[in-house]
Amino acid sequence: MAGRQKKQQRPSAPQLDISAPRSTRRAGKWTALLLTCFILALIYLGYTLISKAPSYMAKSGKTTYGKVLDRDGDVLFDGSQPLTNYPPGQFADIGNLIGDTSGQMSNTIVAKHLEELANYSFTYGNEAGDATIHTTLSHRANKTVYNAFGDKNGAAIAYNWKTGEILVCVSRPCVDIAQGYADLESMPSGSLLCKAFFPTVPGSTQKVSTLIAAYEAAGVTGVNALEYTCEGSWVNPNGDAINCHQAYGHGTQNLQQAFENSCNPYFAQLVQSGIAPLSSIIGTYTRMGYAVNGQKADAMDLDGITINPASTKLSDLNNFETEWGALGQGKTLVSPYQLMLWQGAIANGTGSAVRPYLVKSRTTPTGENVELAVQRQTPQMFSAQAAQAVREVETLNSTHHYYVSFDVYSCGCKSGTAQVNDGGREYENSLLAGFCLDDRAPVAFCILIEERQSWDITTAQLARILLDAVSGIS
């Protein structure tokens, strides 16, 4: 052909390459990308469906539920058969803590672990077997403490401050889940909630927090040397009077004496003196978990159960409300659980408690054991020095005033009397927060007896019963 180029003479024809040009290859790339995304999403979907299937079954009520057991294997809840099959009173003491599947209570172990309790597995369906949740509670000790309340209402909670296991958690009045909810209207109020988790007026047990705040700000020796005079009543700079329960006054006391006397004027003066500046008190309280002045504090979580944080109002050290709050009255509210937690951090002398837990492990319907408890520390709430100093003060308090009650146990504690104004009805609650250092019963506890009269059982007596009940549990 005319004009044909000098042929590039090749010894043989080249190997044919027919790969598509990039303009059309692009289609394959986009399709591959789409497919990859879709397949990945599909894998995620499969994983979600399989892992959430027990929850779907539980939420739509298409499965039966397994058992909740205490640390010795005693049944606390059984979803596989009518609860009336159990002896009467079996669930009387733990109804508002463990709960049931009726949906009446939402902040309970069962309600928060429906998924784990479902007798369902994706592979074996509803015939899988029995799901079980193993708790750290001692049902025997719990019943003993529950019965010890007699006809009084209140709460008691205790945990092993070395391991974090909650051994006793009682809240009276308590619904008996075996009886059902037919007479819901006639049930005493508070039957459906566990008071150990609800903030209440702490009374003088608050002085522990105030003391910690003072130690944090001014050091242990400085605070221990402080002396103030109590004349039965003390008038603050604004002209408001803070009265002592001892009408004639305690005279001049040092800290240890004032703590043991639970002297309001002393602690009011301690707060007002400014030895611990307001910002320092607020800082310590916030670290301890208080929601100060309406600020948001994180709700605490105990195996899914929500515990509302303590709260208080601190505006001005000369202000009556602030001082009154630092004495555990007025706007201050703390749950027994949190009082117990601080005692745990005091007992171990570090200022950081082992986090309590209630659910130890679970057995899946297919028989697999899953450990759920993780031993974790709380954040540093206060310094180790403060913790050790308070432990010293509390131990002396216990030795001097509660020797009769605690006897063989080496304990530390702080009592409190809370003036509660419940919608116009005024009454006094009795509280005791403390710890036991003995290896027999290394527990931190908090006891609340509502409307205690002088002839009723004392918190210290109840604490002794509790210690005896949990003694030897390891």
Contact residues: other proteins, CB under 8 A: 1-5, 7-8, 10, 12-28, 30-32, 34-35, 38-39, 41-42, 44-46, 48-50, 52-54, 56-57, 59-60, 62, 120, 122-126
Contact status, residue 174 vs residue 196, Cβ threshold 8 Å: no
Least distance in angstroms from the C-beta of 11 to other proteins: 12
Nearer to other proteins by C-beta: 120 or 406?
A: 120
Query: 470 is written with which tokens?
Result: 């949990």
The nearer residue to other proteins, 4 or 296, going by C-beta atoms, is 4
Residue type, 332: T
Residue of 304, 226, 307, 295 lying closest to 266 (CA atoms): 226
Q: Which amino acid is at 58?
A: A
Residues 448, 336 contacting (CB under 8 angstroms): yes
In whole angstroms, the minimum distance from the beta carbon of 22 to other proteins comes to 6
For other proteins, the closer of residues 127 and 371 by Cβ is: 127
End-to-end CA distance of the chain: 103
Which residues contact residue 97 at a Cβ distance below 8 angstroms, ignoring those fewer than 6 apart?
Answer: 108, 109, 137, 169, 171, 194, 196
Name the packing angle between helices 336-347 and 384-401 (round to 10°). 100
Q: For residue 327, which of 341, 340, 314 has the smallest C-alpha distance?
A: 314
Q: Which is nearer to other proteins, 66 or 356 (CB)?
A: 66
Residue whose CB is less far from other proteins, 102 or 147: 102
* Closer residue to other proteins in complex, CB, 55/254: 55
Shortest distance, CB of residue 41 to other proteins, whole angstroms?
Answer: 7
The residues that bridge with 359 in the sheet, in sequence order, are 135
Residue 445's SS3 state is strand
CB nearer to other proteins: pick between 41 and 408: 41
Minimum CB separation of residue 10 from other proteins in Å reads: 8
Residue placing its CB nearer to other proteins in the complex, 8 or 421: 8
With b meaning 16 or more CB within 10 Å and e meaning fewer, what string describes 441-457? bbbbbbbbbbebeeebb
C-alpha 251/C-alpha 292 separation (Å) is 33
Least distance in Å: CB of 40 to other proteins? 12
In the three-class reduction of DSSP (H, G, I as helix; E, B as strand; rest coil), residue 131 is classed as coil
Distance CA 234, CA 251 (A): 12
Instruction: Return the number of the residue (46 or 150) whose C-beta is nearest other proteins.
Output: 46
Of 217, 284, 212, nearest to 255 (Cα)? 212
> Cα–Cα distance between 53 and 47 in angstroms, integer?
10
Considering the complex, what minimum distance in angstroms separates the CB of residue 2 from other proteins?
Answer: 7
Question: Based on CB atoms, which residue is closest to other proteins, 7 or 425?
Answer: 7
Give whichever of 24 and 189 is closer to other proteins, judged by the CB atom: 24
- For residue 445, how many C-alpha atoms fall within 13 Å in the half-sphere facing its CB? 35
Kindly state the smallest distance separating residue 46's Cβ from other proteins, in Å: 6
Helix (H) or strand (E) holding 150: none
Smallest separation, CB 35 to other proteins (Å): 6
Least distance (Å) between residue 85 CB and other proteins: 28
Q: Cβ 292 to other proteins, closest distance in Å?
A: 33
Min CB(52)–other proteins separation in Å: 8
Pick from 307, 305, 271: nearest CA to 289 = 307
Nearer to other proteins, 13 or 182 (CB): 13
Q: Which residues of 338-348 are buried (b: 16+ CB within 10 A; e: fewer)?
A: bbbbbbbbbbb
Measure the CA–CA gap between 433 and 402, rounded to whole angstroms.
13
Residue 397 Cβ vs other proteins, minimum distance, rounded to whole Å:
50
d(C-alpha 22, C-alpha 50), whole Å: 41
1 C-beta neighbours (distance < 10 Å), count: 4
How is residue 240 written in tokens? Answer: 């408001």
